[in-house]
Amino acid sequence: MAKGQQLQAPKGVSEYFPDRSNTFEYVRDCLIESAKNSGYQLIELPVFEDTELFKRGVGESTDVVSKEMYTFEDRGGRSITLRPEGTAGVMRSVIEHNLDRGQLPVKVWYSGQFFRAERPQAGRYRQFYQVGIEAIGLDDPEIDVEVIAVADRAFRALGLKNYSLEITSLGDKASRDAYTKVLREYIAKLSLDDETAQRAAINPLRLFDDKREEVKAAMQAAPTLMDYLTPESRESFERVKTLLTALGINYEVNKRMVRGLDYYTGTAFEFVHHGLGAQSGIGGGGRYDGLMAELGGAELSGIGFGIGVDRCVLACESEGISLPSTFTLDLFIVPMSIQTKAQSLLLAERLRESGLKVDIAYGDRSLKGGMKAADKSGARFSIVIGEDELASDLATLKNMKTGDGSSIKISTLHEKLRDYFPETIGDR
């Protein structure tokens, strides 16, 4: 590329900048808050991991591992992959740091960028953002329902209405062993290309996840796993449905749901938004009873979800939900000289230390230019500080919404603003 030529972000990257970044931040924080309210704590994970983690944890038969991962060799000759999902990394961290040896369940939340080599389209990106939670250590239908409820509560807090919940059970090992035998017999009678047949040989359930119309048609008459659940798995799933009903969370049973990752067992679920077209899934997850042992840890159960922040933003926009789209300042200071700029900066820093969001009209602006900047800033209040105001210790605090002004002492501005922002300033 020639020097001086304008650069652009890579294709398929979801990018947020003011003012839309404020909407993104609000949606993300709403999802996180729902997790925190249920006792989940932050776990901050690497953006890249050893490739083997995802091969073993996600499954080599999945599209994620076989087609979509960003994998490269680092300078030490190690195979490294940008994380395509969060659960495998969480489990690796839990095992490595012995979190499972403390109180169970281990309940954590995470957020950040994830990467898949997808064909870019609306709602499907190569770099995308998720908020996820994991509850590790206990096999308990009540925890299954709690995880689902965390997501549902977050969606409702955002004001979403045009979505539904689909659930299924992928059974325990005995259920899957009995079902797999029957399913392989069914698949053996189908006419499949070599690549699809190879995927089916590794995990026949993957054919339910195939997006090609001819494969979907071929699998339409296939037996379903839910018809082969053991009594224990069926009892657990019935308990999940009963608890969801008790919480007032509506659901539909989808017998053909398999999810896109190999580690899922037992309860699996997906939230579908009906205003997003082809990319309708806004979040989903399920139980993964054998994953920890597969990654070298103890035989402990777990369940979690990943919610797409990008798609939640699109879902809110599709429903016309009014979300914060502008950054809101508490105070904007307009200094009128070099001397008052220095005093304004000192004043702003003191107010910022109190927890207020304060900005200044930097540069050599006229009064008109400074007030125009104050108006554009979206601040609730503004104050002009010139030589006369500084000498008299008096200035006018202007309410930017109503236009009303009140004369105040600059030296007592901190105390005056406490009346307007008691929760922010308090006794600081």
What is the domain count for the chain? 2
**To 10 degrees, the CA torsion angle through 145, 148, 149, 154?**
170
Query: Would you mind telling me the total number of residues written for the chain in this entry?
Result: 428
Least confident piece of the model among 190-204, 290-304, 379-393:
190-204
C-alpha 399/C-alpha 407 separation (Å) is 12
Residue 85 belongs to some domain of the structure? yes
Q: Report pLDDT for 428.
A: 46
Percent of the chain with pLDDT over 70: 97
pLDDT in tens, 4-58: 788 899 998 989 998 889 999 999 999 999 999 999 999 999 999 999 999 998 8
32 and 104 in a single domain? The answer is yes
pLDDT in tens, 141-167: 999 999 999 999 999 999 999 999 999
Q: Which two tokens stand for residue 347?
A: 């004043």
Q: Is the pLDDT of residue 395 over 50?
A: yes
Among 263, 288, 318, give the residue marking a domain's end: 318
| Burial (Cβ within 10 Å: 0-12, 13-18, ≥19) of residue 316 | buried
249 and 122 in a single domain? The answer is yes
24 and 138 in a single domain? The answer is yes
In this prediction the pTM is: 0.88
Lookup result for tokens 């000289």: 337
109 and 55 in a single domain? The answer is yes
CB-based burial, 251-280: b 16+ in 10 Å, e otherwise: beebeebbbbbbbbbbbbbbbbbebbeebb
Residue 56 belongs to some domain of the structure? yes
Residue 166 belongs to some domain of the structure? yes
Mean pLDDT of 158-185: 92
| Burial (Cβ within 10 Å: 0-12, 13-18, ≥19) of residue 5 | exposed
Residue 381 belongs to some domain of the structure? yes
106 and 159 in a single domain? The answer is yes
238 and 354 in a single domain? The answer is no
Q: Is the pLDDT of residue 426 over 60?
A: no
C-alpha 67/C-alpha 259 separation (Å) is 16
* DSSP 8-state code for residue 210: -
Mean pLDDT of 292-308: 94
Q: Is the pLDDT of residue 427 over 90?
A: no
Residue 262 belongs to some domain of the structure? yes
Q: Are 225 and 175 in contact (CB under 8 A)?
A: yes
Mean pLDDT of 127-136: 97
Mean pLDDT of 71-99: 96
Q: Report pLDDT for 263.
A: 73
What range defines the domain where residue 404 resides? 331-425
279 and 344 in a single domain? The answer is no
Q: Name the residue among 266, 268, 265, 272 with its Cα closest to residue 308.
A: 272
Task: Give the confidence band of 424 by pLDDT, cuts at 50, 70, 90.
Answer: low
pLDDT in tens, 22-36: 999 999 999 999 999
Highest mean pLDDT among 182-191, 210-219, 415-424: 182-191
Q: Which two tokens stand for residue 80?
A: 């490294």
pLDDT in tens, 338-347: 889 999 999 9
pLDDT in tens, 242-277: 999 999 999 999 988 876 566 778 999 999 999 998
Q: Which strand (E) or helix (H) includes residue 234?
A: helix 231-246
